[in-house]
């Protein structure tokens, strides 16, 4: 089974596709060729209104369902995602440009895993009981209402599932606004929820640029906003949601350190650095783009890093042999190439790559490594979101910890060392929401994921995510007469 690239209509509301061509058109482009593969229209005010009304009605119904019944819908959706993984992967590759090698394992399947995990949680949501003499109290863990998900363009299906799974398990409904760059996969996911028996309106999808999301953030009916995006967008969304005292989860950008001590297994450290800089052509928020290498192994490390980076097979992402595809858009490619030029001007040493792959029409940038990067250089400070690694030298543990933390970001960090005591000591000092020791970019659904500092607030995945999609109601029960001084 394959999905058509042109969706039946732009939006999915109240259990069906809905179109309104009076919204501004959005071209969907296959990043490997630059060719237009579909067209959707931005949600007009009337589409936005339909989505919110239907979502609120669905919330009233769904929140009354038992946890066991909600679990069944989530599990069935997970099953359908797994069954149609190949079609989802192809659509995701066309939408994002990421190779099939990745989309076959990292998108619908990871999304399904989240739905399965939170299906289990739906059945086990409980409150607490408090004995207060004769009286007692208990808490009920209740849903928030309509939750708005706003997605980035790197992993659209996975992002939608990571938001929807805990939200729906907790009894909320969801309106999802995917990135305008990658609008396709989320619509297919909405179809699956309906096929799995969800009430109409439980998972609505509206298309549009930032303004559409901004309108939805400011609507009274939306009680929670979960954004995956950049820090500047996060600042705007957090402020708008904060002014209305809404719940938020912010999964924002990073400039994560990857620290390689000279006692590390070099091949493993290089594997970690490749995964943490080149996977998805570097378009991963938690990437370890500041690769701190202890001076003793610097040359050996750079040599292997560069050799292996240059062997990465670029090409048509729909070809199963391809290991790296294009960037998601022309805009992103231009941004990455601009950072490469700045790095050259500021004196970083280009080890490999450093240019567009001009043999191809799409938005391809060669795997790029800069060495002799210093903390002051722009590429060591700003998130690039492309296949560009910066190697920085260091001498001592204290020095590298301090330099790693000298950033406004705090999404993730990695440490490679054969001294596990040092590994744990170093991560205890790192200001980052997720730290990996002797591996990188592992984000199983069982463990929390989210940022410190400007990289975000709240956590996705794990039982902790439920806290961000529920509120506690305390119920005090008086068992005796009411004592009153009046
Ligand atoms: P953006 O911040 O540009 O956009 C994110 C989403 O927010 C898009 O859907 C966008 O719409 C929307 N948006 C833009 N402006 C507003 C606004 N004023 N109000 C409400 N919504 C708005 O990020 P990108 O899509 O470029 O994604 C890359 C960024 O995402 C990187 O910084 C990356 O680190 C981060 N990211 C974080 C992850 C995490 O889990 N921490 C994971 C993946 C990515 P549109 O684009 O359609 O205009």
Nearest CA, atom 44, ligand 1: 285
**Rg of the chain's alpha carbons, rounded to an integer?**
24
Which residue ranges of the chain lie beneath pLDDT 50?
none
Q: Which uninterrupted H or E stretch holds 149?
A: strand 146-150
Strand order of the β-sheet with 129-132 is: 129-132, 135-143, 470-477
Is there a catalytic annotation at residue 285? yes
Look at phi and psi of residue 462 and say left if phi exceeds 0, alpha if psi is from -120 to 50, else beta.
left
Which is nearest to 273 in space by CA: 290, 295, 296, 252?
290
Whether 152 lines ligand 1, by a CB cut-off of 6 Å, is yes
The pick from 106, 159, 210 for probing ligand 1's pocket by mutation, whose C-beta has the most ligand atoms within 8 angstroms, reads 210
Whether 450 lines ligand 1, by a CB cut-off of 6 Å, is no
150 alpha carbon – ligand 1 mean position (Å): 7
Q: Would you state the pLDDT for residue 1?
A: 74
CA distances from 303 to 55, 282, 410 (A): 54, 20, 29
In terms of DSSP H, where are the helices of 209-297? 210-217, 231-243, 266-278
Give dist(CA 135, CA 131) in Å, integer.
7
Is there a catalytic annotation at residue 460? yes
Whether 116 lines ligand 1, by a CB cut-off of 6 Å, is no
Is there a catalytic annotation at residue 352? no
Whether 252 lines ligand 1, by a CB cut-off of 6 Å, is yes
Q: What are phi and psi of 299, to 5 degrees?
A: -65, -45
Give dist(CA 300, CA 306) in Å, integer.
10
Give dist(CA 180, CA 159) in Å, integer.
14
Neighbours of 110 (CB within 10 A): 18
**Would you say the C-alpha torsion 191, 285, 236, 31 has a positive or negative sign?**
negative
Q: Which of 251, 383, 397, 431 is catalytic?
A: 251
CA distances from 470 to 142, 169, 173, 294 (A): 5, 10, 12, 45
Whether 454 lines ligand 1, by a CB cut-off of 6 Å, is no
Residues in the chain: 486
CA distances from 268 to 189, 261, 368, 437 (A): 36, 12, 19, 11
Give dist(CA 387, CA 305) in Å, integer.
13
Q: Would you state the pLDDT for residue 303?
A: 98
pTM beyond cutoff 0.75 = yes
Helix, coil or strand: residue 399:
helix
CA distances from 118 to 67, 70, 115, 160, 250 (A): 10, 10, 5, 14, 20
What 8-state DSSP symbol labels residue 379? H
233 alpha carbon – ligand 1 mean position (Å): 6
Q: Crossing angle for the helix pair 266-278 and 298-310, nearest 10 degrees? A: 50
Which is nearest to 190 in space by CA: 108, 77, 44?
77
Q: Would you state the pLDDT for residue 358?
A: 85
């Amino acid at each position: 089974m394959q999905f058509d690239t042109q969706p039946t209509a732009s939006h999915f509301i109240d259990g069906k596709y809905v179109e309104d061509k009076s919204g501004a058109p959005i071209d969907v482009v296959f990043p490997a060729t630059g060719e237009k593969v579909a067209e959707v229209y931005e949600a007009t005010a009337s589409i936005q209104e339909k989505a919110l009304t239907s979502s609120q009605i669905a919330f009233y119904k769904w929140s009354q369902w038992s946890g066991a019944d909600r679990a069944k819908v989530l599990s069935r959706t997970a099953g359908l995602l797994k069954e149609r993984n190949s079609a989802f992967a192809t659509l995701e590759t066309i939408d994002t440009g990421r190779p099939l090698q990745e989309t076959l394992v990292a998108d619908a399947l990871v999304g399904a895993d989240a739905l399965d995990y939170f299906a289990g949680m739906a059945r086990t949501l409980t409150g607490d009981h408090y004995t207060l003499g004769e009286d007692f109290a208990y808490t009920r863990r209740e849903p928030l209402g309509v939750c708005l998900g706003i997605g980035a363009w790197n992993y659209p299906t996975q992002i939608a599932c990571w938001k929807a799974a805990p939200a729906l398990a907790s009894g909320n409904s969801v309106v999802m606004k995917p990135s305008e760059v990658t609008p396709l996969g989320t619509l297919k996911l909405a179809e699956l929820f309906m096929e799995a028996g969800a009430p109409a309106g439980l998972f609505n999808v509206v298309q549009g640029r930032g303004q559409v999301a901004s309108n939805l953030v400011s609507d009274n009916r939306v009680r929670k906003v979960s954004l995956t995006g950049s820090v500047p967008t996060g600042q705007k969304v957090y402020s708008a949601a904060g002014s209305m005292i809404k719940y938020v989860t912010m999964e924002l950008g990073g400039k994560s350190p990857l620290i390689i001590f000279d006692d590390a297994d070099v091949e493993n450290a290089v594997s970690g650095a490749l995964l943490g800089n080149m996977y998805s052509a570097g378009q991963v928020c938690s990437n370890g783009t500041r690769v701190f290498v202890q001076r003793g192994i610097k040359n050996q490390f750079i040599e292997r890093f560069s050799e292996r980076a240059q062997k990465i097979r670029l090409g048509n992402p729909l070809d199963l042999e391809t290991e790296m595809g294009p960037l998601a858009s022309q805009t992103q490619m231009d941004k990455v190439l601009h950072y490469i030029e700045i790095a050259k001007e500021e004196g970083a040493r280009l080890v490999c790559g450093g240019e567009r792959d001009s043999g191809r029409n799409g938005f391809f940038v060669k795997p790029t490594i800069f060495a002799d990067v210093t903390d002051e250089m722009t590429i060591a400070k700003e998130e690039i979101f492309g296949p560009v690694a910066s190697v920085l030298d260091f001498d001592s543990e204290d020095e590298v910890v301090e330099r790693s933390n000298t950033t406004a970001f705090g999404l993730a960090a990695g440490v490679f060392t054969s001294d596990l005591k040092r590994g744990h000591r170093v991560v205890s000092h790192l200001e980052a929401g997720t730290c990996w020791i002797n591996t990188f970019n592992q984000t199983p659904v069982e463990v929390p994921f989210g940022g410190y500092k400007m990289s975000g607030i709240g956590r996705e995945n794990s039982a902790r995510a439920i806290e961000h999609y529920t509120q506690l109601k305390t119920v005090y029960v008086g068992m005796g007469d009411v004592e009153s001084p009046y």
